[in-house]
Chain A
Amino acid sequence: MIAAIVRNGFRALRRDKGALILSFVLPIAFFSIFGMIFGGMGGGSTPRVSVLVVDEDGSAVSGRLVAALLQEPSLDASTHAKAKKGGPVPPDYTAAGAEAAVKQGDAPAALIIPRGFGAHPISFGPGRDSPPIRLLHDSSDPVAAQMVGGMLQKVVMTSLPDTMAKMGMQYFEQYSGGLTPQQRESVESALSRVPNAPSQSGPRKDTGLVALDVRDVVGEKKHNSMISFYAAAIGVMFLLFTASAASGSLLDESESGALDRILSARVSMTTLLAGKVAYSALLASAQLTLMFLWGAAVFHLDLFTHLPGFVVMTAATSFAVASFGILLASVSHTRAQSAGISTLIILTMSALGGSMFPRYFMPAAMQKVGLLTLNAWAIDGYTKVFWRDEPILRLAPQVAVLVGAGMVLFLIARRFARRWEYS
């Protein structure tokens, strides 16, 4: 008896493609995606943190520090913007240029080595006569500043061991009352044996001897740094589910015969699909608006000072997800099939596109793959609006991609919907 029940269960499962996908394909797909993100696709390591480096000092010591930062494997350091293909190498960043680049999201952090650093690279004692290196960062990436700060200490210690030792002895003499001639001779003999090339030894403990002035140049005036990111990230993921469910009414109408009746009236298939997309887009807009209003009321999100950007991004995002929903409906034959396919695709898009965790945590290759998702473009757009306070015109790439994707998805859906037009 039990065997018969089990057999019936497997027989039904075999014919239920949606359940099969959810049971077997989805877990493997997610296992693979998370493996690629956190496992570095077999042999990779922690993603490199991008940092812009500005050398205002121009001394031999600062030059050695910059060279060491550029060679540090855990940092993706650069002193100038990337050159266009075949074009000349752009000039080195200035402090203002680096700050602007961080604000625009080109890099999560910048290090400004100030004038006079070479004369006093170590900060020690009550005088603190060493001018601090400035670390400008974007707190929407909370890891980057910590990472760059720590790596800077490591790089200073390993790239300037001779300078560190000499400065250390100067401070020792200053605060200990001086050395005897015999002690001085012995110290100088030891210092002469300290290499001045970067050490090849393993990582050293962060001593904190280099003074750092850390400043959040993007989020310093924000009430709640990450809330706009999560409102957009979570919002877009649920928008996709809402849109796919709303567009599923097309399948209900097909199954009930209402679709035939509608198309026998004065409604064309294009009009019908456009109506469905309009409904889904309005629903999505309402959902996003509610989400951000909640963010404003409960988490002090600055919604009302960013209203124009919010409206533009919400309209573009809603249209894109609505078209995505109608495409899912038009390729599916039943509600169950649509639910299976949409769950698979939406969760995958959300994982890759940054709805589940920020894309900057991902390896560079995965970040690029994420750009194939609607989530990534929507989240980037909302981040520009709420986090970087960028003007509406700067939303052009995100809006163009979302609207363009929406139109392409709609046209593909229209093509698939031809099967309903006539029998």
Chain B
Amino acid sequence: MPAIPLRLDAVVKRFGDLTAVSGVSLEVHERACLGLLGPNGAGKSTLIRSIAGRVRLDSGSIRVFGEPAGSAAARAQLGWVPQELALYPLLTCRENLDAFGRYQGLRGKALDDGIAWCLEWAALADRAGATVKALSGGMRRRLNMAAGMVHRPRIMLLDEPTVGVDPQSRNRIFEMVAELRDQGTTVIYTTHYMEEAERLCDTIAIIDHGRAIAEGRQEELVAQSFGSRSDVLMRFASTVENGSAWAAARGGTVDEGVAHFAVEKPTDIGPLLDAAIRDGLEVIDVVLRRPNLESVFLQLTGRDLRQ
């Protein structure tokens, strides 16, 4: 039976008194895209660095296709895109790819092919001779990704690859990730943007305080936390003095002038609207929203993802 691409068993990493990763166990299967979703400082990057073999674990183990993380065999199967722009600013795109390809042991045709593929993949073929300094922010991000892919690894570790890029560049990066998946690459993707995890990943692990507090497909996570319930958001024409009491009497809360209710089925919205009209409240906006990953995170931790 072939070894699974990535297996983490009770991984623990401490920095002094701080436990950055606390007993995380995960399995990632071939061609999967696992999203590590969590706020800043949750331990996502430490987890990624651990998989890349750059962290000495306090306990637990990580295996890449059955090989210990950090071993030469494991490194050859991994591509890592750090959160920082880990590039040579005075070298051109092609020279950067050449350098990182050689660091991965590529030579000759394999290196040339790897560079050519990466330039196409990152849509930088026409800027191959431009230095990093001369590239836009989005292009730099794409080159940063390409530098981790030049040796065509079977697993790609992407650590917040869209930090600081404009929406257009972000879409281009999403397309690059989708292309990787189409070609059969297993992807581990860290982000604190719920939308990115929802769009790109088929499995999501929610990370908080170094622990994987939930793991599964998006709909599974939502179902685990909320069942079939949906959120109803109701806004009134003017601030209602007794709005909080009114919402609380019907099992809801008021946050920044918006009343939140949980309903089992969409038709439950009717009785709420009837009650508001009956009590003289002028409703100007009603939204029925299926809970998302952010709702799950809020439900599980009591905090917002962006806190």
> A residues near B, CB below 8 A?
256-258, 260-267, 422-423
Interface of B (DSSP majority class)? loop
Contact between B86 and A261, CB atoms less than 8 A apart? yes
Contact between A423 and B55, CB atoms less than 8 A apart? yes
Q: CB within 8 A of A266: which of B87, B89, B105?
A: B105
Report Cα–Cα, A267/B89, bound state, in Å: 20
Contact between A262 and B103, CB atoms less than 8 A apart? yes
With A257-B83, A263-B54, A422-B55 already in contact, 8 other A-B pairs whose C-beta atoms are closer than 8 Å: A256-B87, A260-B52, A261-B80, A264-B52, A264-B53, A264-B54, A266-B75, A422-B54
Contact between A266 and B84, CB atoms less than 8 A apart? no
A266-B105, A422-B54 known; A256 vs B100 contact (CB < 8 Å)? no
- Would you mind naming 21 contact pairs between A and B with Cβ atoms under 8 Å apart? A257-B82, A257-B83, A260-B52, A260-B54, A260-B82, A261-B82, A261-B86, A262-B103, A263-B54, A264-B54, A265-B75, A265-B151, A266-B75, A266-B103, A266-B104, A266-B105, A422-B54, A423-B15, A423-B49, A423-B54, A423-B56
A264-B52, A422-B55, A423-B55 known; A258 vs B87 contact (CB < 8 Å)? yes
Contact between B56 and A422, CB atoms less than 8 A apart? yes
Contact between A265 and B100, CB atoms less than 8 A apart? yes
Query: Number of B residues contacting the other chain (C-beta, 8 Å)?
Result: 27
Which residues of B, 90-147, contact A by the 8 Å Cβ criterion?
100, 103-105, 147
Specify which chain B residues have a CB less than 8 angstroms from the CB of A423 in the assembled complex: 15, 49, 54-56
Q: CB within 8 A of B103: which of A257, A267, A422?
A: A267
Contact between A266 and B76, CB atoms less than 8 A apart? yes
Report Cα–Cα, A64/B102, bound state, in Å: 76
Report Cα–Cα, A267/B101, bound state, in Å: 11
Specify which chain B residues have a CB less than 8 angstroms from the CB of A266 in the assembled complex: 72, 75-76, 103-105
Specify which chain A residues have a CB less than 8 angstroms from the CB of B55 in the assembled complex: 422-423
Report Cα–Cα, A258/B84, bound state, in Å: 8
Leading 10 A-B pairs by shortest Cβ distance: A257-B84, A257-B86, A265-B103, A258-B86, A422-B56, A261-B86, A257-B82, A264-B52, A265-B104, A266-B105
Specify which chain A residues have a CB less than 8 angstroms from the CB of B89 in the assembled complex: 256
Contact between B78 and A264, CB atoms less than 8 A apart? yes
A264-B53, A266-B75 known; A256 vs B85 contact (CB < 8 Å)? yes
Specify which chain B residues have a CB less than 8 angstroms from the CB of A258 in the assembled complex: 86-88
Q: Closest CB of chain B to A26's CB: distance in Å?
A: 30
A422-B55, A423-B49, A423-B55 known; A264 vs B80 contact (CB < 8 Å)? yes
Report Cα–Cα, A260/B100, bound state, in Å: 12
Specify which chain B residues have a CB less than 8 angstroms from the CB of A261 in the assembled complex: 80, 82, 86, 100, 147-148
Contact between A257 and B85, CB atoms less than 8 A apart? yes
Residue-wise, chain B 245-282 has the 8 Å CB interface mask toward A (1 for contact) of 00000000000000000000000000000000000000
Specify which chain A residues have a CB less than 8 angstroms from the CB of B86 in the assembled complex: 256-258, 260-261
Report Cα–Cα, A261/B96, bound state, in Å: 12
Report Cα–Cα, A364/B100, bound state, in Å: 53
Report Cα–Cα, A262/B87, bound state, in Å: 10
Specify which chain A residues have a CB less than 8 angstroms from the CB of B147 in the assembled complex: 261
Q: Closest CB of chain A to B35's CB: distance in Å?
A: 21
A266-B72, A266-B76 known; A260 vs B49 contact (CB < 8 Å)? yes
Report Cα–Cα, A260/B80, bound state, in Å: 10
Q: Closest CB of chain B to A274's CB: distance in Å?
A: 14
Q: Closest CB of chain B to A395's CB: distance in Å?
A: 36
Report Cα–Cα, A267/B78, bound state, in Å: 14
Specify which chain B residues have a CB less than 8 angstroms from the CB of A256 in the assembled complex: 84-87, 89
Report Cα–Cα, A423/B13, bound state, in Å: 10
Q: Closest CB of chain A to B50's CB: distance in Å?
A: 9
Report Cα–Cα, A257/B148, bound state, in Å: 12
Minimal Cβ-Cβ distance residue in A for B104? A265
